[in-house]
Amino acid sequence: MSQDAQPAPVLKIEDRPVEGHGVVRVIAVDRPERLNALNSATLDALHAAFDAAAADQAVRVVVLTGSGPKAFVAGADIAEMSGLTPAEARDFSLRGTRMMRRVEKMPKPVIAMVNGFALGGGLELAMCCHLRIAAETAKVGQPEINLGLIPGFGGTQRLLRLAGRAATLELCLLGTPIDAARAAQLGIVNRVVPAAELQAETIKVAEQLAASAPLALRGMIDCINVGGECGLEEGLEYESAQFGLTFSTEDMREGTHAFLARRKPRFTGR
């Protein structure tokens, strides 16, 4: 590569305007020749893209997907991982974990549009999103056992919280991918739709969220994140505090007035 050459882009990013409600930002991992595998450059690019989406006031919702017809993200990049020392592998794991926590803690809803294989790091990436809509042809799993590894980007922890102990042990110990229908039965994905309808259905959900009150959405995400990591009493107290804060917003007044006037509310995020 010459000194002036630039690295190949690893993401595609586009904004879809929602009339009167900001935009839906679509972020696609763009390494179809590697089935969108996550290497260090892709992890860093994703982290930066979600930082930018969080800071951009025009962005109401983020949709995360993979380029090409085969994969959402087929896993971490084995070619990069194979040469790592134990210390470097731990750093790689922490790098991925930080990026996925960035997604999980986004103040705006993030929808994983699972268009194909979501294996290993790909399933871990999908699970840190707030909602997951999958094509009926998608396959998900944690096949790291087949490489002599364990999940490294939060797979054991998020899968346990979504699907329970029995399913997590099955998927991690056996390493056998499952289809989208079974993933829905286990609570790993929210919806399964025909592949031809995946994009339209996902954007429809994203537009519904974009028209909702942004501060209330943020409060719900915060409450659910906190509640998943603390005891019931702490979670209830946090929810009450967030509930009270919504009463300081213009959106709360708009929503209640619109309800009483029997009209659709127009939320502004203030």
Catalytic annotation, residues: 124, 144
Measured distance CA(186)–CA(152) in Å, rounded: 21
Q: What is residue 73's three-state secondary structure?
A: strand
- For residue 70, the SS3 value is coil
Whether 96 and 127 have beta carbons less than 8 Å apart is answered as no
Burial tier of 25 (Cβ tally within 10 Å: 0-12, 13-18, 19+): buried
Closest CA to 11 of 39, 38, 35, 46: 46
Strand partners, 119: 141
- State the Cα–Cα distance between residues 101 and 80, nearest whole angstrom: 22
Run of H or E including 270: none
